[in-house]
């Protein structure tokens, strides 16, 4: 089957790739572009480990086709930090031990960053419902929620 030629922007850089029409954006990121930070936990949109931004909208990369990325702007966990400085969320997750095994962490961070872009002062309940699509089996979510709330508070006070 002939492959489709796609031009897209990922984490601010231009990318071109060929993909099969049935290939998901997650498969393209991981297999074709070697961006392994987005994880596959279910491939059905239930776990959120593959959360990425597409044109400023939070999506599960496993529910988007690679071909749909054409002309779009994609942001993944690899784009969160800039140079040697981590995103405040990344630093706070380390400081508060908001990760254990770390497999859900990339998706949680991308989703949490999306929340804070939309809502500068989310309540605990808003954080919990926003992150309800990101499964974490290790932490019980406590430290994740605290980290997001603290980053939001620090950004407001900055």
Partner 1 sequence: MNDMTQTNLERALKIVGSRPARPDGVDKVTGRALFGADKSLPNMLVGRVLRSPYAHAKIISIDTSKAEKLEGVKAIITSADFEDFPSEFVPNGEMVVNMKDITRNVMAREKVLYVGHTLAAVAATDEDVAEKALALIDVKYDVLPHVLEVEDAEKSDAPLLHDDMITIGVEPMPTSASNVAKRVEFGLGDVEKGFSEADLIVEREFTTQQVHQGYIEPHACLASVSEDGQAELWCTTQGPFVVRNFCSKLLGFNAAQIRVTASEIGGGFGGKTVVYLEPLALALSRKSCRPVKMEMNRAEVFTSSGPTSGAKIWVKIGVKNNGKITAGDCVLKYQAGAFQGAPVGPGAMCAFAPYDLKNVRAVGFDIVVNRPKVAAYRAPGGPISEYGVESVIDEIAMKIGMDPIDLRLKNAAKEGTVAPYGPKLGPIGMIETLEAAKSHPHYSAPLGANQARGVASGFWFNIGGETSSSITINEDGTVGLTLGTPDIGGSRASMAMMASEELGVPMELIKPIIGDTNSLGFNFLTGGSRATFSTGTTVVESTREAIEELKKRAALLWEVSLDQVEWVDGHARLISGNEPKTMSLAQIAKQAGKTGGPIMANCSMNVTGAGPSLGTHIVDVEVDEETGQVSIVRYTAIQDAGKAIHPAYVEGQMQGGAVQGIGWALNEEYIYNDKGELENTGFLDYRIPVCSDVPMIDTVIVEVPNPNHPYGVRGVGETPIIPPLAAISNAVSRATNKRFDELPLSPPKVLAKLMHG
Residues that bind partner 1 (CB under 8 A): 30, 35-44, 46-47, 49, 76-78, 80-81, 86, 90-91, 93-97, 99-106, 109, 124-125, 127-129, 131-146
Shortest distance, position 109 Cβ to partner 1, whole Å: 6
| Contact of 15 with 82, CB cutoff 8 Å | no
Nearest-approach distance from CB 97 to partner 1, in angstroms: 4
Nearer CB in complex with partner 1: 94/153: 94
From the CB of 8, what's the least distance to partner 1, in Å?
18
DSSP the chain: -PPEEEEEEETTEEEEEEE-TT-BHHHIIIIIS--TTS--S-SSSSS-TTEEEETTEEEEGGGSBGGGGTT-EEE-GGGSSBTTBPPHHHHHHHHTT--SS-SSHHHHHHHHHHHHHH-SS--HHHHHHHGGGS--SSSTTHHHHHHHHHHHHHHHH-
Residue number with CB closer to partner 1 (72 or 92): 92
Closest CB 119 distance from partner 1, rounded Å: 15
83 SS3 class: coil
CB-wise, 7 or 21, nearer to partner 1? 21
In whole angstroms, how close is the CB of 30 to partner 1 at the nearest point? 8
Q: Which is nearer to partner 1, 8 or 105 (CB)?
A: 105
Which structure tokens are listed for 103? 């497999």
């Amino acid at each position: 089957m002939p492959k489709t030629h796609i031009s897209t922007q990922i984490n601010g850089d231009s990318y071109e790739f060929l993909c099969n029409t049935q290939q998901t954006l997650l498969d393209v990121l991981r297999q074709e572009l070697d961006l392994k930070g987005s994880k596959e936990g279910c491939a059905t949109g239930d776990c959120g480990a593959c959360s990425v931004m597409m044109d400023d909208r939070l999506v599960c990369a496993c529910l988007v086709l690679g071909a749909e990325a054409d002309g779009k702007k994609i942001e993944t966990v690899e784009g969160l930090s800039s140079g040697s400085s981590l995103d405040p969320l990344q630093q706070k997750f380390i400081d508060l031990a908001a990760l254990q095994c770390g497999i859900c962490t990339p998706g949680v961070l991308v989703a949490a960053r999306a929340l804070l872009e939309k809502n500068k002062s989310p309540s605990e309940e808003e954080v919990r419902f926003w992150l309800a699509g990101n499964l974490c089996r290790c932490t019980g979510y406590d430290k994740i929620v605290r980290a997001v709330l603290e980053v939001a508070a620090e950004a407001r006070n900055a």
